[in-house]
Amino acid sequence: MSRPVTIVTGGSRGIGAATCVRLAADGHDLALGYVSNEAAAREVAAMVREAGGRCVTVRADTSQEADVERLFDTAAAELGPVSGLVNNAGVTGPLGRLANARTDDLRRVLDVNVLGYLLCCRRAARDMAALGGGAIVNISSAAATLGAPGDYVHYAASKAATDALTIGLSKELGQDRIRVNAVAPGIIDTDMHATMGDPDRPARAAAGIPLGRPGEASEIAAAVAWLLSPDASYTTGTVLRVSGGR
Ligand code: NAP
């Protein structure tokens, strides 16, 4: 049987990188999207190949329609028809109350986290319908239901949009045999916290998490891998919370 071809946006670091490596081990070939860190993308691609997968890396800002189209075109040209998408590339902007947020930061979060997910889902819907089926996993966040007051309510709002997108699109695409699900991570130990100016955030949050620790990127990758697998063949329109109980 041929290996499924899956696109992972933001595959160069964190949850996306762990997902690429896990999916390669599970038998996928990968198109790995990244926005700027080419060295990290190459490192992950090497790990994918080591795990037995083919891998193409594509610099693509998911908030840009032309970049998204090029990401999908390259994946299909280099690896074959795309049957999987992990919509993962996401940003938060600086931490703080909405009253102090800059418009440019709000716009960037919505452009990447909402418009970017929509552009990728739209192209996946077209390609997978033509192919006769497929699976999409959108990376949401526990923030979508917690609201993240004082930290980033705009980001939480963008993730609530991800949940609505997942539910609506699953109903639209069921007839095309395309499953659409989301994974909502809690606090996961990745670069994201340092990028938003608070590298110690995962360690500090541990006390408020029922399982007593932040999550590992590989624990999110495992949930994504299940949702993409035939074991999840009757699962669509669900938001799977993987948050240590938070
Ligand atoms: P991360 O470590 O900061 O990595 C972000 C990844 O996204 C990188 O590969 C980055 O590429 C890529 N990226 C950023 N902006 C992009 C854009 N405009 N176009 C394409 N790629 C872009 O983040 P993470 O913690 O793994 O988060 C991954 C996803 O999980 C996000 O959707 C995030 O909201 C969600 N999430 C994370 C947590 C957490 O605690 N970490 C919790 C809940 C949800 P470069 O390497 O090129 O910069």
Taking only the tens place, the pLDDT of each residue in 164-211 is 999 999 999 999 999 999 999 999 999 999 999 999 999 999 999 999
Interval 91-104 mean pLDDT: 96
- β-strand partners of 82: 5
pTM score of the predicted model: 0.98
Quickly count: other Cβ atoms within 10 Å of residue 112's Cβ.
23
- What integer pLDDT is reported at residue 2 of this predicted model? 83
- What integer pLDDT is reported at residue 61 of this predicted model? 98
Tell whether ligand 1 has an atom less than 6 A from the beta carbon of residue 90. yes
In total, how many domains does the chain have?
1
d(CA 130, CA 170): 16
* Full DSSP string of 140-199: --THHHH--TTT-HHHHHHHHHHHHHHHHHHHHHGGGTEEEEEEEE-SB-STHHHHTT-T
Pocket test for ligand 1, best of 192, 200, 209, 246 (most atoms within 8 A of CB): 192
Mean pLDDT computed over every residue of the chain: 98
The domain containing residue 223 runs over which residues?
Answer: 5-242
With tokens 């071809």, the residue in question is 5
pLDDT band, very low/low/confident/very high, at 125 (cuts 50, 70, 90): very high
Counting from 1 in the atom list of ligand 1, the atom nearest the Cα of 185 is 43
Q: Whose Cα sits closest to atom 3 in ligand 1?
A: 192
Burial of 42 by CB count in 10 Å (0-12 exposed, 13-18 middle, 19+ buried)?
middle
Residue 1 predicted with pLDDT over 90: no
Among 19-33, 153-167, 194-208, 217-231, where is mean pLDDT lowest? 194-208
Tell whether ligand 1 has an atom less than 6 A from the beta carbon of residue 89. yes
Q: Whose Cα sits closest to atom 44 in ligand 1?
A: 141
Residue type, 130: A
Q: What is the CATH number of the domain that holds 128?
A: 3.40.50.720
- What integer pLDDT is reported at residue 211 of this predicted model? 98
Pocket test for ligand 1, best of 35, 183, 193, 219 (most atoms within 8 A of CB): 35
